Structure formats: structure tokens, C-alpha cells
Amino acid sequence: MIKLIAADMDGTFLRDDLTYDNTRFRKIFEKMEENGVKFVAASGNQHSRLRSQFSFNDHISIIAENGAHVLAEQEELVASSIPTSKIAQILALLKRIPRIEILLSGKRFAYTDSKNEKVLSLAKRFFVNLKVMENIKQLPKDQFFKITCLLPSDSKVYMTKVIEKNFGGNICVKAAGHGTLDILSPDINKATGLERLGNKYAIRPSQMIAFGNDRNDEEMLTYAGRSFVPGNADPSIRQLADKIIPSNNSDGVLKTLEDYAANNWEYPY
């Protein structure tokens, strides 16, 4: 019997319009609670956005910031921030790269100094608490989890090499959703978040299932006992799936969870 379900949000659990069938999920979640099954929202987004998406219940655990911020329901387990001095060094380097837009994820707020209306519109969709600054290098007092970079696809390899050359193993650069790159502490990912939650609740990886669609879900999909990938997923991720499920716009995650619930939370396929 499974005891923990972890689901990536954007492109997996959520439809493209960032909604989900709230009524349908609540019915599933009630069955989870009746059977002691934990649900984890796992995302590169901030804790505040994830919490707002499941405001009907505070028993949902959260892996935010791609594993840098982990909460077992309301209890904070992990807050793996990057030192402010290193953030300043990284921002100084990034500002030398042409056509780059920067979003800085803090514990209290997200920050940007972008003047691009399309970028600001996108950022406001994904960051509940966004502050637009005159100069992002003038760092506010906060605890910083990651830097998200939006830049042309032909610049991504170059930027990754520049960051890794200057900071080596002290920083990790990962592809994230919507064509972005994330810079965060090394050895941090959604699987490390699952491991901490598993330790907290005494749940083994074999008792977990995970849903994901992009490269920042790779470690989580590999860590969990069973992995499910929606039909709209990045082709490189499909090979990790025990089963390809219907797309995010077809509510593939909810359909799979209903199948599990009907089979007493055992693998139903």
C-alpha cells in the first residue's frame, strides 16, 4: 500500500491555465486522509503560492523551490538558502549576460528588476508575493533559496558553463519549467525533499509514488517506488515512467489517484 503521493504542479497536476478540479481532488484527498496517505505538492514555486493553491486544507505537505524549502504540513523541515554574499556574486555575474531576466526567490518575497511586461506578467502568474525593484543587486533582507533565469535558448549552455566555471560545486544549475534555468544550492532537488519527508513520517521510497513532467522532476521520479508521467511531458522524462498517464489538461493525475483509491491504494495497473 502506498503512503505518500508527490505531484509536480505546473504541467503535471495543474492544467495549462493553472487550475485543477478542486471538487474532484477534495473527494480524493478525503479518501487519502481516511487511509493515512500523505499528499505532497512538489514544485519549483514558492511555498506561499503552493499553500494558496490548497488553501482548503493545511495537512498538505510542500516541497517548494525545487527542494530548497520543505514543510511537513505546517512544520518547516528544510530551508536550504544560498548565503547573501554568494547571491550578490552570482547576480553580478548574471548581469553581464545579455538578454537575461532574473527572478530571485526569497522566503518572504520574490524579487525582480525586469522592465519587460511579458516577463512581469509571467512572474505574477507564478509568484504570489512579487516585488519589482529598481536594481535587484541591492539585496533586501531575506533568506534566498534560488535564482531563476529567463534567457534565449541559445544562451543557456553558455550561462551554465559560466556559472559552473566561477562557482564550481558550490552552486547547481538545473533546467526548470517554462524554459527557465534555476540556480540553487548543490545536492538540493525534489528527491531530497521526499527523503526528508519520508524520514519524518517513517515512509520508505517503495511506499511513495511521484508524478512529474520536466527535468527538475527527474530525481523525484527516480526516487519514488512508482513514477507517472503525463503525455505532455518532456520527451527525456518519459523513459522514467512506470506508466504514461493522460495529459495535465485531461486531469491525468486525478484519474490515476482515483484508480489507486479504488484499489485500496495498491498499484492498480
Q: Which residues is 131 bridged to in the sheet?
A: 111
Per-residue confidence (pLDDT) for residue 147, from 0 to 100: 93
Residue 9 vs residues 90, 176, 195: alpha-carbon distances, Å: 28, 12, 19
pLDDT tens track, the chain, 269 positions: 999 999 999 999 999 999 999 999 999 999 999 999 999 999 998 999 999 999 888 899 999 999 999 999 999 999 999 999 999 999 999 988 888 899 999 999 999 999 989 889 888 888 888 999 999 989 989 999 999 998 877 777 777 888 888 887 788 888 776 678 889 888 899 999 999 999 999 999 999 999 999 989 999 999 999 999 999 998 989 999 999 999 999 999 999 999 999 999 999 99
Helix%, strand%, coil% for the chain, nearest 5? 40, 25, 35
Cα radius of gyration (the chain) = 18
DSSP state of 81: P
Helix (H, G, I), strand (E, B) or coil at 58: coil
Q: Quick one: which H or E segment has residue 140?
A: none
